[in-house]
Amino acid sequence: MSRLRLLSAAALLAVAANASASSFIVTTDAVVGALKSSSDATSDVTSSFRDDKIVLAARDDAASFVASQGEIRGVKLESALDHIRHKAPQLNASDAQLAQAILTI
């Protein structure tokens, strides 16, 4: 009887380990996909607006926005976000992603 329990426990452990590994892979793929999207948005913005005076003037406001997790929204940042969205309407990025991209310029 103890061998049957031991084999059952081993089988249950193997199934549980496999389920955890599958779940980990799916979660990892989702996180990597989200980071790639954010990275692509950042690359697009930084290369296109590197010499743009409106965007460069918003760096301090962007830093405050990022540091406060979106609570502080300065006038220069609002202007830069509108400017970026007008110049690159195909860019599908959140305010936070754009603020982080402004900081990388």
Query: DSSP string of 78-92?
Result: HHHHHHHHHH-TT--
Per the structure block, which two tokens stand in for 37?
């999207």
Domain residue limits, the chain: 2-104
Out of 22-31, 67-76, 94-103, pick the least confident. Answer: 22-31
DSSP state of 49: S
pTM score, two decimals?
A: 0.56
pLDDT in tens, 34-63: 555 555 555 555 567 888 899 999 999 999
Query: Quick one: pLDDT at residue 28?
Result: 55
Query: What number is the average pLDDT over the span 81-105?
Result: 90
